[in-house]
Amino acid sequence: MPKRFPKDDPHLFFYLHAGDLYCHIQDLKLVLKKTEEIEFEDHPDELEYEGLISDIFPDIVRKSFVVLLIIALETEFKSFCGLLKEIESLSLKWNELRGPSLDRFICYCERLSNVKVCNDNTNRQLIKGLIEARNCIIHNNSSIEFFDKAKEVVQFAKAVQGVSIENGYLTFSYEACLTCADIMHAFMQDAYNAALEKYPKK
């Protein structure tokens, strides 16, 4: 059987990428679930040690999960636009555009390829908030104080149950992490559905 290329069968490649993303997110959720189930041995003579564990776990795991979600999202932006570049024979790469990754992705898809990847402003604001939450975790140690996009992070926390600001720091419940994964997947699935509609099955 001859090798297929995106330009020859765009529908197939977008379909396969959408399937890969679904599997990847399910794997991330499974790892999070198993990590949440970890129990540490009792150390009755080391109360300070126990306090340290309770302070950083599972918070550090949940925030790592959010960071991994955005890494996966930006990887999807790159591969999705890469498919469009090859299919449409575009000379411009998505990362040659200026601005935040979300804006570049939407601009590349909708203006250069006429693929309407984002028709729901609510989903767009949730993704934007999720990205800023990741940025807050990485660049400001989860503190909204002096974080330049604190307003977006606070709005995101209000919109997603289980995401909260406690003593000025961003926190996530286990359920909120799963919701964040669903938000990310729903956003990209809408994009893949738009591509599948533009490039129907042969």
Q: In Å, what is the CA distance from 73 to each residue of 82, 105, 160, 169, 200? A: 14, 11, 18, 24, 24
pLDDT at 54: 53
Handedness of CA 81, 29, 59, 169 (dihedral sign): positive
One-letter identity of residue 108: Y
Question: Which portions of the chain are predicted below pLDDT 70?
Answer: 1-3, 40-57
pTM reported for the whole predicted model: 0.90
Residue 72 is predicted with a pLDDT of 97
In the chain, the largest separation of any two C-alpha atoms, in whole Å, equals: 68
Q: For 187, which DSSP code?
A: H
Residue 46 is predicted with a pLDDT of: 52
- Predicted local distance difference test score (pLDDT) of residue 49: 47
What count of other Cβ atoms lies within 10 Å of the Cβ of residue 83?
19
pLDDT at 44: 54
What are phi and psi for residue 70, nearest 5 degrees? Answer: -75, -30
pLDDT of residue 43: 56
- Specify the pLDDT at position 3: 63
Selection from 198, 171, 177 nearest residue 66 by Cα: 177
Give the chain's mean pLDDT. 90
Question: 143 has which bridge partners?
Answer: 169
Instruction: Name the nearest CA neighbour of 128 among 146, 155, 110.
Output: 155
